[in-house]
Amino acid sequence: MLVVAIAWGVAPGAQRAPIAETPDTPFKLATFEAAGKVRVGLVLGSRVLDIAAANDALSKTAGLAPLQMPDEMRGLIEAYDRVKPRLYQIANFYKGAKTDGASFVFDVSNVAIKAPIKYPYNVLAIAANYRLHAGEMFAPGSPQQKAAEEADPDKEDPVFFAKSPRSCIIDPDDPFFMPPSRNIDWEGELAIVIGKPALNITEPQAHGYVFGYSIMYDVSDRGGPGRPLTAMFPGPNWFRGKSRDRSAPFGPFILPKEFAPSPPHFHIITKVNGVVKQDGNTKNLIWDEAHMIRFLSSILTLYPGDVISTGTPDGVGAGRKPPEFLKAGDVVTIEIEGIGTLRTPMAAAAK
């Protein structure tokens, strides 16, 4: 105990000051791999702390009661009400503490950041949730464009589609493999992470069911050679267009909602090879967080760790004149202020 106390700058015999259990030090959460082990991390600036090991060290240093800490992100979200006071203590203590040589502290740039949750039960994504994006995707003067301009979130329900969590989610920096001769587009989106089971939730209740926020790349297939969709169902093939293997890059971090802006308005920038393609803000959503959660929970139960991808701003490749699409070798980056940057390289499909 003496060695630990000296290591953290506590003089032998000195009375320890209490460590606040309040969210005084903002942090993000990560799933990361270091030294061959996948861990749940608390991100403080350029450092990421192995939460389980930091919890053990702080308990010994500060004489805190032992607390069992979940070792994967979905479990952490499910137990958040129980463990968040300790997470606040970890952040408050190690924010200013010298951690050189501590085995549970890593430089973010020296670890492999994984998708935050592997895997949520549900990944649900909304279509056409920004008026300008809807406008660029529909023909000028068409009924669809008129409907986008006049959409009333209090009178109309949104359109959602699902992506398979197990097949679609990939880690930051993992490649998306380009299917031959298909038009693959970029769509940067804010991801809402659900914090507790939600069924038939009203709009005023909705924010209470949010855990935090992350980033999702809704990889979109805009068409190309292939067999036509059966004539029984006119319209786009949403499954082929939105649910390709590896089509939901996710991460790098989750920002707990207590550290997010209120209301949760975020600036989103999507770049291809360093060139800005999308520059939007979630304050311009048609159906905001409350409307989306009300609608989804009126149909199915949302579970802790479930992800709602909130739609993309204007500036996608399909909306440009002439259209632009991705090719092998391109790199898509999506940056959301306060959360981080999600990087996805485009790679040729294996032959």
CATH code assigned at 217: 3.90.850.10
Last residue of a domain, one of 114, 144, 172: 114
Q: Are 254 and 305 in contact (CB under 8 A)?
A: no
CA nearest 90: which of 27, 4, 2, 40? 27
- Whether residue 174 is found in the same domain as residue 217: yes
Cα 336 from Cα 271, distance rounded (Å): 12
Cα 55 from Cα 41, distance rounded (Å): 11
Sequence-distant (6+) residues with CB within 8 A of 218 are 125, 163, 187, 189, 242, 247, 248, 309, 312
Consecutive 10-residue runs of the chain (351 residues): their mean pLDDT?
36 63 98 98 97 96 94 98 98 88 95 98 97 89 89 97 98 97 97 98 98 98 91 91 98 98 97 98 98 98 98 97 97 98 95 69
3-state secondary structure 34-87: ECCEEEEEEEECCEEEEHHHHHHHHHHHHCCCCCCCCCCHHHHHHCHHHHHHHH
Q: Give the pLDDT confidence score for residue 309 in this predicted structure.
A: 98
- Whether residue 109 is found in the same domain as residue 133: no
- Whether residue 19 is found in the same domain as residue 92: yes
- Whether residue 84 is found in the same domain as residue 152: no
Q: Give the pLDDT confidence score for residue 182 in this predicted structure.
A: 96
- Residue 38: CATH number of its domain: 2.30.30
Q: Are 226 and 270 in contact (CB under 8 A)?
A: no
Number of domains into which the chain is organized: 2
Q: Give the pLDDT confidence score for residue 13 in this predicted structure.
A: 40
- For residue 96, count other CB atoms closer than 10 A to its CB: 10
- Give the number of residues written for the chain: 351
Q: Give the pLDDT confidence score for residue 16 in this predicted structure.
A: 62
Cα 287 from Cα 223, distance rounded (Å): 27
Q: Give the pLDDT confidence score for residue 3 in this predicted structure.
A: 31
Last residue of a domain, one of 67, 88, 114: 114
Cα 124 from Cα 118, distance rounded (Å): 15
- Whether residue 188 is found in the same domain as residue 321: yes
3-state secondary structure 299-344: CCCECCCCEEECCCCCCCHHHCCCCCCCCCCCEEEEEECCCEEEEE
Cα 220 from Cα 202, distance rounded (Å): 31
Half-sphere exposure of 255 (CA within 13 A, CB side): 23
Tell me if residue 251 falls in helix, strand or coil. Answer: coil
Domain span including residue 71: 2-114
* Structure tokens belonging to residue 210: 């949010």
- Give strand ranges (E) for 153-274: 160-163, 169-170, 176-178, 184-185, 188-194, 210-217, 220-221, 248-249, 255-256, 267-272
Instruction: State the DSSP string of 212-229.
Output: EEEEEE--EE---SSPPP
